[in-house]
Amino acid sequence: MSPQSPDSPTAPPPSLTEVEPYGVERIPDADRTATPLDLFRVAFGGANTFSTCVLGAFPILFGLSFRQGLAATVLGVVAGALILCPMAVFGPVNGTNNAVSSSAHLGVHGRVVGSFLSLLTAVAFFSISVWSSGDALVGGAHRLFGLERGTLSYVVAYALFAGLVLAVCVYGFRFMLFVNKIAVTSATVLFLLGAIAFAGDFDPSYAGVFTASADAATKSLFWPSFIGAALIVLSNPVSFGAFLGDWSRYIPAATPRRKVVGAAFLSQIATLLPFVFGLATASIIATKAPKYVDPAAPDFVGGLLAISPSWFFLPVCLLALIGGMSTGTTSLYGTGLDFSSVFPKLSRVQATLLVGVVSIAFIFIGRFGLDLVQSISTFATMIITCTTPWMVVMMLGFHTRRGWYDPDALQVFNRRQRGGRYWFAHGWNWRGMTAWWVSAVIGVLFTNIPGQFVGPLGDLANGVDISLPLSLTVAAVLFLTLLRLFPEPRAAYGPEGARLARTVEAPVPPITGPGAPADDVPTALAAEGGR
C-alpha cells in the first residue's frame, strides 16, 4: 500500500524508532491517527516545563507582588490561549503545517513568512529550554555530588541536552508524541511535589516593590510592569501559533473542529500549573535569597536550588530533563519540518539538524556572550509582535474562505511549481502581506517592556505597552479593508463563495513545473465574481 495514497485504509501507527517519512506534503488519510487528546498532550507537554517556570518568574523580576503577578499571569495565559486556539484547525483541514496553509492568504511565496516566524520561535524556546534545563542539571549535580559549577560543566550539559532533543526531532512526530505523553504526567506530578516542598515558605502576601510606601516614580511604573509581565506570559501560548499545524495535521479532517480548538485552548490553560509554580517560587526566592532575582543578573534556577529542601534536588533535575526535552522537541521539530520545504535540497532530517546547529550556536552566544534575560525578553517581544498579526490574517482568512482550501494548490511552493489558485501576483498576496508587515512594524514601534525593550513610540501611552491590542486591531481592520477594496479572485474561495469580502472573476494560472499535468491550462473558475 502506497504511503502517498490519501484514500488508503487507516494503517497502524509506525513504531517509535521509525524515522518519520513525511515533510510538509499533505498527510494521507490513512496515516492520520492522532486525536485532539494527542494535540493536548503535545501542546501542554511542550509548555509544562522548567522553561515555562522561568517565564513565570518574570512578574516578580518586574517588581510585582504575588497577587499582582498572578493576575498578570492569568491575563496573559487566557488571552494567549484565545488568540492561539483557532490556529489548530488548519492542520486537520489541509493535512499540512500552518506555514504551508498560509499560502492561501499570503501567496505561494508569501508563506515563507510563516517559516521565518517558526524559526524565530524555535530558536527562542529551544534556547530557553536548554538554558533552564542545563542550569538546573548542573546546579542539582553540584548540590548532590559536588560537581563544579564552571563553564565546562555548563557547556557539556547544554551540548548533551541539545543532542538528546535533536535525536527525538530527527525520529519525528511519533517519538515526540511519546516523549510528551510521559512529560505531561511526570512533570505534573513533580510540580505538585514541588508545591509540597515549598508550601511552608510560600507567602501569598509577598508585596513586591509597588507598595503604598513606594515613591511616585516607582508607582508610575506599575502598569508598564504589569502589562509587560502579562505580555511575556502571553508570548508562551502565542509561540505555538506557527507550530499547531505540525501536530494537528495528523488529526483526521472529519474530527469536529470544536474538539480540536478546545484541545488547543485547554492545553494552554493547563500551563497555569508551571507558570504559577514559577511565580510562587520566585516570590520565595525574592524573600529568602534576593540576590538571585536581581534584575541586573537574575538566576531563577540558582535561586530555586538555593531555597529547595535537599530531598527536592533530584526531582528538580528530573523536571529539568523531562520538561526540557518536551519544550525543546516541540520547538525544534516544526521548524526543521518547514525548512525542508524552503530549501528543497534538504530532507526533513537534514533541515532539522541544520536548524538545531544554528539554535545551539545561539544558546552558547546568548548564555556566555549576551545578557540572558535581555535575550529572552527581546525574543519574546519579537514573537508577539511578529506572530500575532500573522495569526490574525490566517484566522480572518479562514473565516472569509469559510474554511475551504485547495490542498493541491497549497503545495505549489514545496514542489517548486508556479501558478494555481494562490499564485495571486507572482506568488505574493499583497493584501495579506501588507496587513501583516504593517501591523508587525506598528507592534514593534509601540512596544514598551520596562528595562528590557522599548520601541521608538513606546512612551506615547505614558509608558504602557499598547503594542498587542494595537497590532491586533490594525491587522484585522487593514486586512478586511483590503479584501473589500481590492477583491481576490473568486477561484480562491470555495463553492459557497466569500464571507465579509468581495471577489472578482479571474482565470487561474496553470500549475507548471515539476510534476504538473501536461494539459493543465488556465481556467476561469471564478464563476460568481464581483460579490
CATH number at residue 185: 1.10.4160.10
- List the single range of 40-54, 99-113, 207-221, 249-263 with lowest mean pLDDT: 40-54
Task: Say whether pLDDT at 2 is over 60.
Answer: no
- Does residue 243 belong to any structural domain of this protein? yes
What is the number of residues in the chain? Answer: 531
Task: Say whether pLDDT at 523 is over 60.
Answer: no
- Does residue 450 belong to any structural domain of this protein? yes
- Does residue 526 belong to any structural domain of this protein? no
d(Cα 327, Cα 323) in Å, to the nearest integer?
6
Range of the domain at 336: 29-494
**Beta strand pairing status for 448-449 and 453-454?**
antiparallel
Tell me the pLDDT tens digit for each residue of 84-110.
999 999 999 999 989 899 999 999 999
Which whole number is the average pLDDT over 70-87? Answer: 96
Task: Say whether pLDDT at 433 is over 80.
Answer: yes
- Does residue 184 belong to any structural domain of this protein? yes
Number of domains forming the structure of the chain: 1
- Does residue 421 belong to any structural domain of this protein? yes
d(Cα 479, Cα 476) in Å, to the nearest integer?
5
Task: Say whether pLDDT at 7 is over 60.
Answer: no
If phi over 0 gives left and psi between -120 and 50 gives alpha, with beta otherwise, what is residue 216? alpha
Task: Say whether pLDDT at 524 is over 60.
Answer: no
- Does residue 341 belong to any structural domain of this protein? yes
**pLDDT (0 to 100) of residue 518:** 47
The H or E element spanning position 8 is none
In the block, cell 530557553 appears at 128
- Does residue 316 belong to any structural domain of this protein? yes
**pLDDT (0 to 100) of residue 522:** 41
- Does residue 311 belong to any structural domain of this protein? yes
Tell me the pLDDT tens digit for each residue of 334-373.
666 667 667 767 777 777 788 778 777 777 776 676 665 5
H/E/C letters for each residue in 177-222? HHHHHHHHHHHHHHHHHHHHHHCCCCCCCCCCCCCCCCCHHHHCCH
**pLDDT (0 to 100) of residue 453:** 74
**pLDDT (0 to 100) of residue 375:** 63
**pLDDT (0 to 100) of residue 4:** 40
229: which residues sit within 8 A by CB, 6+ positions away?
Answer: 58, 59, 62, 64, 69, 72, 73, 76
d(Cα 45, Cα 147) in Å, to the nearest integer?
30
What is the residue-wise DSSP string for 240-253? TTTTHHHHHTTS-T
Which whole number is the average pLDDT over 292-302? Answer: 77
Which whole number is the average pLDDT over 249-256? Answer: 94
